[in-house]
Structure 1
Amino acid sequence: MGRDDATDRHDAATWSPLDSDGWYAVRNATTALRDALIRAGLEKDFPYLRAELNAFGHGLVELGRVSPATAERLAELLRLALASGLQRLAESGDETTESREERG
């Protein structure tokens, strides 16, 4: 193997997150979450929100620490969203098998 062959190979020293589909997926997910937090008026409550890749190249969305009040606001938004989604399903008559099974 010649010296030029070694430079043609992809190794860890030249790896970039921009070469990874995982990076774009986690960046897009983080952007979507940021946009939803902005619409909910919570963007300042998640100052540590960021996209990351772990050592294996798997994307992770870092939310960071939040205050108890922020956690309660987020929980309430999720409850409202879930209730709204279930209400829309019931109104449209498009129940999932899971929701029918939950009611017994």
Structure 2
Amino acid sequence: MHGDSAEPRDDAHWSPLDSREWRAARDAVSALRDVLIAAGLEREFPYLRADLNVFGHGLIEVGRISPETAERVAELLRLALDCPHGPHGGHADDGGSKTDN
């Protein structure tokens, strides 16, 4: 029978889902989803997903959002930009470094 032979098959075994680019896109979606959940906006982004373009570059599909959601995201970004401390406790204008006196 044809399927019983032990000879190697000529199948392509590479999957874009095994690529570094896919994993980076998936991880970015997870990080963004975590923040959206914390902000109570997870339901406003039903099409959020990781994707790859035809060249294998990772992309994030955000999808369409309402004007109200866009305003809320803009306000959150404004608040983050106005925050006097960076993510590591330093001032935003000094690269996030913290000095002890």
TM-score (norm. length: structure 1): 0.72
Tell me the residue number matched to 1:41.
40
* Cα distance in structure 1, aligned partners of 2:35 and 2:43: 12
Tell me the residue number matched to 1:54.
53
* Cα distance in structure 1, aligned partners of 2:79 and 2:50: 26
Hey, which bits of structure 1, 4+ residues long, moved more than 6 A?
A: none
Secondary structure of 1:41's partner? Answer: coil
Tell me the residue number matched to 1:100.
none
Structure 2: any 5+ residue segments left out of the alignment? 1-6, 96-101
* Cα distance in structure 1, aligned partners of 2:74 and 2:46: 18
Structure 1: any 5+ residue segments left out of the alignment? 98-104
* Cα distance in structure 2, aligned partners of 1:94 and 1:71: 24
Structure 1 residue 14, shift from structure 2 partner: 3.6
Fraction of identical pairs, as percent: 60
Computed over aligned residues only, the root mean square deviation of the Cα atoms, in angstroms, reads 2.5
Identify which of structures 1 and 2 has the higher relative contact order when contacts are C-alpha pairs closer than 8 Å and 6+ apart: 1
Q: Letter of the aligned partner of 2:30 in structure 1?
A: T
C-alpha distance 93-31 of structure 1, shift in aligned 2 (>3 A): closer
Q: How many residues were matched structurally?
A: 87
* Cα distance in structure 2, aligned partners of 1:14 and 1:92: 47
